[in-house]
Chains A and B, each alone.
Chain A
């Protein structure tokens, strides 16, 4: 479940960066149209992989419940961190992808 949680968190990080206000707030410039689309696609892919992972590990019914639950929890955590330490929040999102790889292979 840790792998899926990390992937969900990274996914919401991407979605957050795809929004102009947050992109500007953290990186100081507006995202290009292409970058916005790429970030949204990346977010969707990360969620799909996360969902596939939990469903493969726990069966489709429990996996689906876990996947939606982890998505909600990771989004909540991102918003909580983003309100006080925006750079840390998105830095962690960037670290979450290698983190998920390590957790998945370990």
Chain B
């Protein structure tokens, strides 16, 4: 069991570290996206007005489109987003525009993927469909095995539940690895298992084929009963005013928030308007919960909350994984537990290496395997932190009107990671750690300053207008800079004591 835990953990450790870390960042996806597009104004949330403005804009810009998608602003997402299918041959499949929810005017925001980049990377790893999802799922399965085998390997974790002995080298790393694992164990098990549940239709299609008699489309029909409209009638019709429909929807489901309003066949006699309920209104994520209205008469056609039995159980896991229901306190808890999962993987990787480095402490040049792991540890952990900093720095420094700007941000992310890897290969030592952590600390500290210089919504301005998303990201960046500087200092002090020959003699077998 120990063997399984050790080697599975090592082989998938770097990947799991990246998945955990970007997933942790994704709990603040909307905040990061807003930080990445500081031009979007923050208004008091008024869904009714926003829908009217969206309708006016789409009627002018996308009258011929088959379906309109309207994402009204929420307390976490400032922009009103409208989307429609691009005409064939336009490159991407959809055209998406951010609007000012109060005026309906197009917001000239910089092109950026923002928090969405980390979110997609978390489960697709920038690979093409379906390879990224399969790899992420494999990692989740390995994580589940590592968790179970870890509980068996480190069997003292419950006996030593409250034990962390700092400043004792290898002992402290092991204590830390056990502490972050056992203290947030319910979170680790939930997040790993639910990660697999999210992709159940892809991972276990056999069940789907059996239950739906070889036609998996039936599953999606059951999950999203309002997503498959009848074909357009071909006779022109006038679309009912969306704010009036919103009032009706509120009468049906008092107090409900809606994450998406879909207008199917706008301008046709057979138009339909579907209001999708916001996932944050309950724990279980039931994406098909929606109200469908006739787009011309405004009559309610169907009120659907698909979610009983198995669907509710799966939706419960899905919802717990995504945490859309979380308010500010719960969201920060999610963030902290996500970091603890990242730290669990990270400490495990460090443990593997330090344990074996002790055996080879007297050799002038450690074996290739150890050098390789040392390199990948450094690039996989400190390098990822650097790459994230690179992405955010690119967001602040690239020209606002640059062509392909969002793609360049991603490129800077990977280029930074590559540079870190090359540097790590050249210097996979404690000194290398000190250098990379120091650079990361400086970058994270500089980011809020860059925001003050290159945008109109720097930290002081954000606090002044109570834009807590941007202020929160900036303050967290400063906190991260302090943490990294502290870590770099700690490693530096440690490596200074390591050079003393007496120390090496003591640990040699």
Query: Which residues of A line the B interface, CB within 8 A?
Result: 1, 12, 15-16, 19, 21-22, 61-62, 65-66, 68-70, 72-73, 75-76, 78-80, 82-84
Contacts and interface: CB of A to CB of B under 8 A. Distances in A.
Contacts of A61: 282-284, 316
Interface string B275-314: 0000000111000000000000000000000000000000
A74 to B, nearest CB: 10
Interface string B323-356: 0010001100110110010000000000000000
A24 B442 CA distance: 44
A21 B165 CA distance: 13
A84 B166 CA distance: 8
Contacts, number: 59
B162 A76 contact: no
Contacts of B333: 69-70, 72-73
B206 to A, nearest CB: 30
B183 interface: yes
Indicate the size class of the contact surface on chain B: 20 to 34
A78 B162 contact: yes
Given A61-B282, A62-B325, A83-B166, A76 B340 contact: yes
Interface in B45-69: none
Given A79-B162, A83-B165, A83-B166, A66 B183 contact: no
Nearest to A64: B283
Interface string B362-397: 000000000000000000000000000000000000
B478 interface: no
A72 B162 contact: no
Nearest to B185: A72
B428 to A, nearest CB: 30
B186 A22 contact: no
A-B pairs with lowest CB-CB distance, top 8:
A61-B283, A83-B164, A69-B333, A76-B183, A16-B162, A72-B184, A75-B183, A68-B186
Interface string B147-189: 0000000000000011111100000000000010001101100
